[in-house]
Structure 1
Amino acid sequence: MQSISTSGQDYYRALAAKDARFDGIFFAGITTTGIYCRPICRVKTPRQSSCVFFSSQAAAEAAGFRPCLRCRPELAPYNLQQNLAHAIWQRISAGALNEHSIEVFAGQVGLSSRQLRRVILQEFGVSPIALAQTQRLLFAKKLIQETQLSMTDIAFAAGFGSVRRFNALFESRYSMAPGSIRRLQASLTTQQEISLRLAYRPPYAWDALLNYLNGRAMAGLEQVDLQQSCYRRSVRIDDKQGWIQVSHDVEKQQLRLDISAGLSSVLLPLLAKIRQQFDVEANPVLIAQHLQHDPLLAQQIARTPGLRVPGSFDAFELAIRAILGQQVSVAGATTVSGRLVQRFGEPTITPWAGVSHHFPTPEKLASLSIEEIASIGVPKTRAATIQAFARFAAAGGLQLAPGLALNEIVQRLKTLPGIGEWTAQYIAMRALRFSNAFPAGDLGLQKAVSEDPSARCNEKQLLLRAEAWSPWRSYAALLLWQSLSA
């Protein structure tokens, strides 16, 4: 496969070919229409002399272009990179500047407001405020076109302080009233639920991801329905409660989200969590180009193209699940996790009998005695680790500053009692979304790379081989675990 280039000529070739590999990597502004499009837009390809290319929607809108109503740039998967600017951008996209001023937000990420502006301007070509405004407008546009929420609900869900401000900015930026783009399809939503969509870069190994989640689903909290090919769970964000169901639309290359109406005011942070859990932003072609140089990985890539690293809806949940999985089978850890949810979690009501509780909060688990935690069927040493981790999370330990290196985070986690290298790497890999995290102490990974089925290599040997897989070692780990299943 040819590597993805970044020249203007190659961008135009990708636009003419409707190349999905570049979806979200760049946007094309068409000077003759004043509209900007995704590279996969199905309209007639304009002449190259009419095209200007941008790395983000915000840059295109700052140059005076309006989003295309056909390809809908707000649907494009993000072009996330593991650097400080993109880590800050993720927080802005999840609504961080809806609640806080630039100065307060800059302090939260460990920068001065001047440093924050400089970092964002250098990477995206616009100010943090302009970036946030673009995200709000595009998210509002998404809700208008995909739901039947009222304009008032949409304005506040997108982070606008008033409907008047929302209407004014929408009309000034897009030269149209918000209501003019609404699709009057009553079937899109009911009073009980909201339906939204998230696009991804194909291919997407949906069945493999669903099977992975199925084996680790915590009874009461989440449910995988293999017959209906969907994932369900309870949701609690701040004081809002509800549920979600995630399914796969193969033809449109999108994930479909069915969301309870009670979560309408927290849709922005909710979608950010779903994007992480289902690894929507992955670029599978780019990852495969790198990993297929290893013959063992190449075989599994051919079997399961588009394999994702399943993330987590909530970092604390995943971390506790990882602790419960120490030195026991996947099935055993899943059973004990379900007991913890149903014994200490808060009951809730959803359309499914198997989804009946919210995960216990860090404060709840931190308040329990070691004996109470151990009563679910774990050793007291592990119960003590859960208690210590809950206190760590309750004190803000998982609210990490953007730009922290993988090694720094792993070392910080390992200062907690009972958290070793495997657990720290696994948390970094799935909960904190580090693409290069790699739990080399995992017996399954050591066995998967061994030529002799009855033997396994040691951790040092595995780490040496994994050097060539950087910066995608997490994806290599998933491929190796999948090879064991095969």
Structure 2
Amino acid sequence: MLKNVSGLYAAFKAKDSRFDGRFFVGVSSTGIYCRPVCRAKQPKPENCTFYSTAAEAEQAGFRPCLLCRPELAPGSSVTDATANLVYRAARMLEENCGNVQSLDEFAGRLGCTDRHLRRVFTAEYNVSPVQYLQTCRLLLAKNLLTDTDLSVLDVAMAAGFGSLRRFNDLFKKQYNLSPTALRKRTSKEKKHNSDVTLALGYRPPYRWEEILNFLAGRAIAGVDTVKNGEYMRTVHLVNAEGKHVYGWIRVGHKSSNNALIVTVNETLLPVLPLVLARVRHLFDLYCDPDAVYQMLSSMNNIRPGLCVLGIRLPGCFNAFEMAVRAVLGQQITVKAASTLAARIVNTYGTPIQTGIEGLTHVFPSPEDILALDGPIENHLGPLGVIAAQSRIIYDLARAIVQREIDFGLSAQPEEAIKKLMTIRGVGSWTAQYIAMHTMEWPDAFLETDVGVKKALGTYTSKELLEIAEAWRPWRSYATINLWNAL
């Protein structure tokens, strides 16, 4: 439970969206908990209790508000220079809430014991990891019940409950309402569609056009595209049982709700939590734009407008795909790198049927690359990829398959950068570029990048590094601002 009640109540009363997702308000007179932006009648201060997470509010006995819908609140952002253990654990629980994994496995991936993870997690969030996982599942299920016409059984399975009975029992116990009753109370006209459309909230402002332009400029023909203000791509994931799942997603923007609207192909329901986690990563939905701008606003002393409030750091949906893009982009233009990537996809990618023009293949996996017979340059060379880059791509694929380099939430970006640079042909620019996009590393800086140098003027690389010291730990965001300034 959070203290500083008067300050939190003032933020709640102001309905300031900058506080959305940072705390939740339990209202004793109604038994529900709300986001700080909730537009329901303002409760009295003495009826309000403040919690740092939705899980903590639910463990205190409160049910989620049907008006402001806590499941749509944006997540928390890492605000220090390296990944926080508890933050990464919470993100991993959200991402894997559809897969049954023991806490032992999670702790092992994070490099600690399960006992230590339980202790620090409970100290930070006032709930255990298991309770946090339960809330992740319940809120995802509530979102699906409210916004889709999926059957209650499909909702239970997609949210990771494993059985309908367990889902019904826990939902009734926690929310004092059956899933069917909730659907009736929140009923609205929904188009019958086998695909699933959900809203993912963010903390405003959000410069949608800028991130869409970034993705459009780097789209790979056959894999992803930007049309009519929406981003679309093919998807290939592996579920908990090792089954390969294929499909597509479409992402649009609804600024009035401070949310992205995500449509997920029905074939991806078995991996829905993982898909939504990848979308949040790709579109940087955990970002706190005010914290970033506060640190980077000094950029505008160099040139007005160099730093813009609300800029996001584009992540990635497929780490290997992004790493290959980075390698192909060495010493050539963005457009030329996209052309080479498209040739690789057309030759070695897996064809899929999407019904969407321009989405025809999934990007080849590391295993696909390793399965090619003979020297890799014999396969990629005829496509226009030089021998040195072909070997880097092969070495990256091998490192991923053998788990020598981790691009996931358990990764330590600074250590991963060092490992990447042990691969022959991978220099600082490539390693930093990969880290900032695949590992959500907020403090990468590309002092040798042509765009960065052009945006900042006539400085040496050493001088640029000295200037960028003032922008820690958000130098990745500074880099994106510099690119956008061009």
Instruction: Give 1:109's aligned residue.
Output: 110
Look up the SS of the partner of 2:246 in the other structure: strand
Summarize deviations over 1:168-195 as a string: whole Å, max 9, x none.
011001111011121444534412x211
Alignment check: 8 A CA contact 1:28 1:53 kept: yes
Query: 5+ residue gaps in structure 1?
Result: 451-455
Alignment check: 8 A CA contact 2:97 2:273 kept: no
Counterparts of 2:422 and 2:139, CA distance in 1? 42
Look up the SS of the partner of 2:190 in the other structure: helix
Amino acid at match of 1:43: A
Alignment check: 8 A CA contact 1:16 1:45 kept: yes
Summarize deviations over 1:370-420 as a string: whole Å, max 9, x none.
210222101101111111111111112343575654322211111112111
Counterparts of 2:355 and 2:156, CA distance in 1? 28
Counterparts of 2:169 and 2:480, CA distance in 1? 47
Instruction: Give 1:32's aligned residue.
Output: 29
Query: 5+ residue gaps in structure 2?
Result: 239-243
Q: More displaced, 212-221 or 92-101?
A: 92-101
Counterparts of 1:62 and 1:440, CA distance in 2? 47
Q: Does 1:322 align with 2:326?
A: yes
TM-fit CA distance, 1:294 = 2.7
Look up the SS of the partner of 1:375 in the other structure: helix
Alignment check: 8 A CA contact 2:98 2:137 kept: no
Q: Does 1:273 align with 2:270?
A: no
Alignment check: 8 A CA contact 2:300 2:306 kept: no
TM-fit CA distance, 1:297 = 7.0
Look up the SS of the partner of 1:300 in the other structure: coil
Instruction: Give 1:457's aligned residue.
Output: 459
Alignment check: 8 A CA contact 1:120 1:127 kept: yes
Instruction: Give 1:201's aligned residue.
Output: 203
Alignment check: 8 A CA contact 2:92 2:409 kept: no
Alignment check: 8 A CA contact 1:291 1:297 kept: no
TM-fit CA distance, 1:6 = 8.5
Counterparts of 2:128 and 2:406, CA distance in 1? 24
Counterparts of 2:222 and 2:405, CA distance in 1? 24
Alignment check: 8 A CA contact 1:300 1:479 kept: no
Alignment check: 8 A CA contact 2:144 2:150 kept: yes
Q: More displaced, 330-339 or 292-301?
A: 292-301
Q: Identify which of 385, 388, 400 aligns with 1:378.
A: 385
Summarize deviations over 1:424-481 as a string: whole Å, max 9, x none.
111111111011122222121122111xxxxx32221111111111111111111111
Amino acid at match of 2:220: M
Instruction: Give 1:263's aligned residue.
Output: 268
Counterparts of 1:402 and 1:221, CA distance in 2? 24
Overall identity of the aligned pairs, in %: 41
Instruction: Give 2:353's aligned residue.
Output: 349
Instruction: Give 1:75's aligned residue.
Output: 72
Q: How does 1:85-484 map to 2 (within 5 A)?
A: 85-95=86-96, 98-182=99-183, 183-185=186-188, 187-191=190-194, 193-225=195-227, 228-238=228-238, 239-296=244-301, 299-300=304-305, 304-368=308-372, 369-399=376-406, 405-450=412-457, 456-484=458-486
Amino acid at match of 2:37: I
Distance change in 2, residues 1:47/1:475 (3 Å): same
**Matched residue count:** 471
Alignment check: 8 A CA contact 2:233 2:249 kept: yes
Counterparts of 1:100 and 1:416, CA distance in 2? 32
Amino acid at match of 2:456: V
Alignment check: 8 A CA contact 1:97 1:105 kept: no
Instruction: Give 2:241's aligned residue.
Output: none
Summarize deviations over 1:57-100 as a string: whole Å, max 9, x none.
11111111111111010100001323111011111111268321
Amino acid at match of 1:380: A
Look up the SS of the partner of 2:226 in the other structure: strand
TM-score, L = length of structure 2: 0.93
Distance change in 2, residues 1:176/1:96 (3 Å): closer
Alignment check: 8 A CA contact 1:448 1:481 kept: yes
Instruction: Give 1:453's aligned residue.
Output: none
Amino acid at match of 1:376: L
Counterparts of 1:107 and 1:161, CA distance in 2? 24
Counterparts of 2:424 and 2:334, CA distance in 1? 22
Alignment check: 8 A CA contact 2:53 2:125 kept: yes
Instruction: Give 2:56's aligned residue.
Output: 59
Look up the SS of the partner of 1:46 in the other structure: coil
Counterparts of 2:11 and 2:52, CA distance in 1? 14
Alignment check: 8 A CA contact 2:444 2:476 kept: yes
Structure 1 residue ranges, 4+ long, deviating more than 6 angstroms after superposition:
none
Distance change in 2, residues 1:401/1:265 (3 Å): closer
Look up the SS of the partner of 1:220 in the other structure: coil
Distance change in 2, residues 1:8/1:440 (3 Å): farther
Counterparts of 2:59 and 2:401, CA distance in 1? 40
TM-score, L = length of structure 1: 0.93
Alignment check: 8 A CA contact 1:315 1:398 kept: no
Counterparts of 2:472 and 2:188, CA distance in 1? 46
Counterparts of 2:71 and 2:395, CA distance in 1? 41
TM-fit CA distance, 1:108 = 2.7
Counterparts of 1:298 and 1:50, CA distance in 2? 49
Look up the SS of the partner of 1:98 in the other structure: coil
Amino acid at match of 1:187: K
Alignment check: 8 A CA contact 2:33 2:63 kept: yes
Look up the SS of the partner of 2:397 in the other structure: helix
Look up the SS of the partner of 1:99 in the other structure: coil
Alignment check: 8 A CA contact 1:188 1:194 kept: no
Distance change in 2, residues 1:399/1:390 (3 Å): same
